[in-house]
Amino acid sequence: MDLQRPDSYQGGAGPDFNDHVLHKTILVGDSGVGKTSLLVQFDQGKFIPGSFSATVGIGFTNKVVTVDGVRVKLQIWDTAGQERFRSVTHAYYRDAQALLLLYDITNKSSFDNIRAWLTEIHEYAQRDVVIMLLGNKVSGSGAGSAQPCTSSALAGPITTQEQLSRHPS
Ligand SMILES: Nc1nc2c(ncn2[C@@H]2O[C@H](COP(=O)(O)OP(=O)(O)OP(=O)(O)O)[C@@H](O)[C@H]2O)c(=O)[nH]1
């Protein structure tokens, strides 16, 4: 799926959100941990396997979900995990209400790098941003294989120490 759709970005609040609560979420994590795959899975309901094509820059997709009777428009931004795009993606952290921080459970360095990601998040995102740590690639076949480290992670901001202590050593 092509997430590079600058034509669909209208700036500011974006498309008509009159009857929605807008919620901006950003997917972050090392290159190859499965951010784009997770977003495509969430958007289209299926895992699309294929050769790895690294995201260039940043793009977003919208999805409306109903939570406790309230329609919420999720605007989910998919960022490139590669270092060379960091300066581009940092600029988007500020507006985010939530950050989904992914690592690949089959790749230790992607977990080791979580500390560095949290340092960047604390530098560029709002202080009260909600951070959810997700271990991806739990299933070899891909589909729906991301697992949160805690089911209550989205209930409120959590600290670096809390997040790291939730990962089994
Ligand atoms: N086995 C398995 N493979 C996965 C899973 N999720 C993604 N992959 C594969 O991992 C590779 C990288 O996935 P992407 O979604 O492109 O990774 P990314 O984090 O968006 O990478 P960047 O765009 O470079 O930041 C692809 O070959 C995917 O098919 C999963 O849950 N299980």
Q: Domain containing 75 — which CATH number?
A: 3.40.50.300
Instruction: Please indicate, yes or no, if residue 17 is contained in any of the structural domains.
Output: no
Could you give the number of structural domains in the chain? 1
Say if residues 136 and 33 touch (Cβ distance below 8 Å).
yes
Instruction: Please indicate, yes or no, if residue 61 is contained in any of the structural domains.
Output: yes
Question: In this structure, which residue's CA is closest to atom 14 in ligand 1?
Answer: 34
Instruction: Please indicate, yes or no, if residue 52 is contained in any of the structural domains.
Output: yes
Strand-by-strand arrangement of the 98-104 sheet: 58-67, 70-79, 21-29, 98-104, 130-136, 147-148
Whether 49 lines ligand 1, by a CB cut-off of 6 Å, is yes
Instruction: Please indicate, yes or no, if residue 29 is contained in any of the structural domains.
Output: yes
Which pLDDT belongs to residue 26? 97
Question: In this structure, which residue's CA is closest to atom 29 in ligand 1?
Answer: 49
Mutation to probe ligand 1, out of 52, 101, 114 (largest number of atoms < 8 A from CB): 52
Whether 73 lines ligand 1, by a CB cut-off of 6 Å, is no
Concatenated DSSP letters of 91-148: HHHTT-SEEEEEEETT-HHHHHTHHHHHHHHHHHS-TT-EEEEEEE--STT-TT--EE
Q: Complex ipTM above 0.95?
A: yes
> What is the whole-number distance in angstroms between the Cα of residue 17 and the centre of ligand 1?
31
Instruction: Please indicate, yes or no, if residue 132 is contained in any of the structural domains.
Output: yes
Q: Mean pLDDT throughout 113-137?
A: 96
Query: What domain range is 57 assigned to?
Result: 22-138
Instruction: Please indicate, yes or no, if residue 166 is contained in any of the structural domains.
Output: no
Q: Mean pLDDT throughout 135-146?
A: 70
Whether 24 lines ligand 1, by a CB cut-off of 6 Å, is no
Which ligand 1 atom sits closest to the C-alpha of 55? 23
Instruction: Please indicate, yes or no, if residue 161 is contained in any of the structural domains.
Output: no
pLDDT reading at 151 higher than 70:
no
> Which tens digits make up the pLDDT trace of 70-95?
899 999 999 999 999 998 999 999 99
> What is the whole-number distance in angstroms between the Cα of residue 70 and the centre of ligand 1?
31
Which pLDDT belongs to residue 19? 60
Question: In this structure, which residue's CA is closest to atom 6 in ligand 1?
Answer: 34
Q: Judge residue 162's burial from the number of C-beta atoms within 10 Å of its C-beta, 0-12 exposed, 13-18 middle, 19 or more buried.
A: middle
Which pLDDT belongs to residue 50? 77
Question: What are the C-alpha distances in Å from 109 to residues 11, 77, 86, 88, 150?
Answer: 35, 23, 18, 23, 21
pLDDT reading at 108 higher than 50:
yes
Rounded to the nearest integer, the mean pLDDT of the chain is 78
> What is the whole-number distance in angstroms between the Cα of residue 36 and the centre of ligand 1?
7
pTM of the model: 0.78
Instruction: Please indicate, yes or no, if residue 8 is contained in any of the structural domains.
Output: no
